[in-house]
Homo-oligomer: A and B are copies of this chain.
Amino acid sequence: MAFRAAVAGASGYAGGEVLRLLLAHPEIEIGALTGGSNAGTRLGELQPHLRPLADRVLEPTTSETLAGHDVVFLGLPHGQSAAVAEQLGPDVLVVDCGADFRLHDAADWEKFYGSPHAGTWPYGLPELPGHRAALKGSKRIAVPGCYPTASTLALFPAYAAGLVEDEAVVVAASGTSGAGKAPKPHLLGSEVMGSVSPYGVGGVHRHTPEITQNLSAVAGERVSVSFTPTLVPMARGILATCSAKAKPGVTAEQLRAAYESAYGSEPFVHLLPEGQWPATASVLGSNNALVQVVLDETAGRVVAISAIDNLTKGTAGGAVQSMNIALGLPEELGLPQTGVAP
């Protein structure tokens, strides 16, 4: 195997998913696995699904334990990545699954995250125009948020083709793993099973400026985004239901052509045949995004819907896909294109 990778935050959901994917990656050897309060614990207790790593023991997250790797994946709480990255030096590929380096606008960062802006790294959504080039050879990658991945993939072709107005509405349903593994009362199984609940409503969710940044960049003008996330009773998956007013005269044919052009040669993003809509179950465990779009002529809106696995394409899969590009490996290498269903 050509490269050696460490995972900081190996006991969490993002770290666990990175490891699941790396275990199937033919060019990556898994090196150090580190954790915070879980250091010293067998991975078999924390991530019992990762059988081949069951006997590995978590080390503390330090510059020593992370040294000597070609790639380091960071699955750390917001605000901690910059310090770790600095210690790793400029020649190590650092892939940050956290938010620290996603936003260009320091004011946006400070408003939504409440801490000083650490900077901006190449953004790991290769499907966006120009992003593959920026990722190639990069030693730093900011993995997109799960909602921004789903929302951007659903809507950007319509903005890139200039078919929709500059106000987007996104309502997304997410499985609970997106909220992480830290136990909180509202995330208990007893609370989430049988319930759908919104949160971060009214423009206050941290992924709002990220979606705005992505769509605005593609549109070439500021796109206003109304974003509402909801929690649904499943562990994995995001369905993003997105819409925007169609520009006058836009036709269904133009719309479809724009999406076919955007995704016709993408390995992981698939425009479904007309009439078939994406379901999250179809992408579970895979790095795929399924997309469908329609023009509602009565309401005058373009409705675009995407389904991803929030932990795979929405986090760890996007991370590995971008890592492949950065390392000069084939983009699909080691990434599942088949979901687990039913």
Which residues does A use to contact B, with CB under 8 Å? Answer: 13, 16, 20, 23-24, 42, 44-45, 47-52, 54, 167, 169, 171, 173, 175-177, 179, 181, 183-185, 187-199, 201-203, 208, 224-226, 228, 230, 232-237, 239, 241, 243, 245, 270, 272-273, 276-286, 288, 290, 292, 294-301, 303, 305, 307, 337-342
Q: Could you name 24 residue pairs across A and B whose Cβ atoms are closer than 8 Å? A: A44-B272, A45-B276, A48-B341, A49-B281, A49-B283, A49-B339, A50-B338, A50-B339, A183-B188, A189-B191, A189-B193, A189-B235, A194-B236, A195-B237, A195-B280, A195-B281, A196-B232, A196-B234, A202-B295, A226-B299, A228-B241, A228-B243, A232-B233, A236-B342
**Whole-angstrom distance between the Cβ of A335 and the nearest chain B Cβ:** 12
Known: A198-B239, A202-B294, A203-B297. 9 other contacts (CB 8 A): A16-B341, A54-B270, A181-B190, A183-B188, A196-B280, A226-B299, A228-B241, A228-B305, A230-B239
The reply to whether A194 and B284 form a contact with Cβ atoms under 8 Å apart is yes
Copy tally for this chain in the complex stands at: 4
Q: How far is the CA of A206 from the CA of B42 in the complex (A)?
A: 28
Q: How far is the CA of A212 from the CA of B286 in the complex (A)?
A: 39
The reply to whether A176 and B195 form a contact with Cβ atoms under 8 Å apart is no
- The residues of B that contact A298 with a CB separation of less than 8 Å are 203, 208, 224
The reply to whether B13 and A233 form a contact with Cβ atoms under 8 Å apart is no
Q: How far is the CA of A169 from the CA of B341 in the complex (A)?
A: 31
- With A171-B241, A298-B224, A303-B228 in contact, do A284 and B49 touch (Cβ < 8 Å)? yes
Please name the residue on chain B nearest to A204 by beta carbon. Answer: B296
- The residues of B that contact A270 with a CB separation of less than 8 Å are 51, 54
The reply to whether A176 and B188 form a contact with Cβ atoms under 8 Å apart is yes
Q: How far is the CA of A321 from the CA of B76 in the complex (A)?
A: 38
Q: How far is the CA of A273 from the CA of B299 in the complex (A)?
A: 32
- The residues of B that contact A277 with a CB separation of less than 8 Å are 197-199, 201
Name the one of B235, B281, B337 contacting A342, with C-beta atoms under 8 angstroms: B235
- With A23-B338, A296-B226 in contact, do A194 and B194 touch (Cβ < 8 Å)? yes
- With A176-B188, A202-B295, A300-B224 in contact, do A196 and B23 touch (Cβ < 8 Å)? no
**Whole-angstrom distance between the Cβ of A213 and the nearest chain B Cβ:** 13
- With A173-B230, A188-B183, A303-B228 in contact, do A237 and B196 touch (Cβ < 8 Å)? yes
Name the one of B234, B292, B299 contacting A225, with C-beta atoms under 8 angstroms: B299
The reply to whether B20 and A196 form a contact with Cβ atoms under 8 Å apart is no
The reply to whether B48 and A282 form a contact with Cβ atoms under 8 Å apart is yes
**Whole-angstrom distance between the Cβ of A332 and the nearest chain B Cβ:** 11
**Whole-angstrom distance between the Cβ of A251 and the nearest chain B Cβ:** 14
Interface centre among A167, A171, A196, A294 (most CB of B within 10 A): A196
Please name the residue on chain B nearest to A270 by beta carbon. Answer: B51
The reply to whether A233 and B340 form a contact with Cβ atoms under 8 Å apart is no
- The residues of B that contact A239 with a CB separation of less than 8 Å are 196-198, 230
The reply to whether B195 and A339 form a contact with Cβ atoms under 8 Å apart is no
Please name the residue on chain B nearest to A339 by beta carbon. Answer: B49
- With A185-B181, A226-B303, A235-B194 in contact, do A51 and B203 touch (Cβ < 8 Å)? no
Q: How far is the CA of A13 from the CA of B167 in the complex (A)?
A: 40
**Whole-angstrom distance between the Cβ of A274 and the nearest chain B Cβ:** 11
